[in-house]
Structure 1
Amino acid sequence: MHRDLQLDNWTAVCAVDDILPDTGVCALLGGEQVAVFRLNANDAVYAIGNVDPKSGASVLARGLVGSVGERVVVASPLYKQHFDLRTGECIEAPAQSVPAYPARIEQGLVWVRA
């Protein structure tokens, strides 16, 4: 972990190689659990809240990454609802959406902005 690296509200949460392509990991960002995903297709990273709003469990980082139409999503491992990785919106129940955070890869590290 690279918790000591911060720049203008951006925090280095891990090395990009710490995340297997098309999977997620959990990071602690300012006291909040954040699910960080790396997509192999375009080598992009996304970050959303890690807590499944329906169950209250911190499990979204363990969900399956895929797509629903044009949207890149993660399916919750518990109730299978789909969360848009760009916006955090729950496709099946928008009222149960999670926060989305800007994320980027720079110098081999994954950076997330609080």
Structure 2
Amino acid sequence: MSTTTTLRWHTVCPLHRLDPDRGVAALVDGVQVALFRTVDGLYAIDNRDPVGGAYVLSRGIVGSRAGVPTVASPLHKQVYDLRTGDCLDLPGISVPRHEVRCRDGMVEVRLRQEG
């Protein structure tokens, strides 16, 4: 017997509250999420740094590496691909990524489904 789970979109904030190339933390259905607005779009990843264990990725340095939008952890400076959550410095390390969109001027996040 299989169960289908409907994942819902959570309204977080108006788009204009997200400064370009800066992160912001938001509590979405009990999960700390780091939101980023770049020239390439909107991104949402867990706020927890998988290497250091602290909830700090929203305070990381936003940039790019070879055209890939990134955030560097403020703890140990590992760089994460905002599109996939993969660490570009340590193979096999990643941070969970969430769906994000702007609808009617409001930023919405849909948490990834736990496997």
TM-score range, shorter chain: 0.7 to 0.9
TM-score of the superposed pair, with normalisation by structure 2: 0.86
Question: How far did residue 31 of structure 1 move?
Answer: 1.3
1:98-109 matches, within 5 Å, as: 98-109=95-106
Identity %: 50
The answer to whether structure 1 residue 80 and structure 2 residue 65 are counterparts is no
Give the paired residue count.
106
The residue aligned with 2:66 is 69
- Choose 1 or 2 for highest CA Rg: 2
Could you tell me which runs of 5 or more consecutive residues in structure 2 were left unpaired when the two chains were aligned: 1-6
1:83 is paired with a residue of what secondary structure? strand
Question: CA offset at residue 94 of structure 1?
Answer: 3.1
Extract structure 1 runs of 4+ deviating beyond 3 A.
none
Unaligned runs of 5+ in 1: 1-7
Superposed CA RMSD in Å reads 1.5
Relative to structure 1, is the Cα distance of residues 88 and 108 closer, same or farther in structure 2, using a 3 angstrom cutoff? same
After TM superposition, the score normalised by the length of structure 1 is 0.87
Tell me which residue corresponds to 1:36: 35
CA distance in 2: counterparts of 1:75 and 1:33, whole angstroms:
17
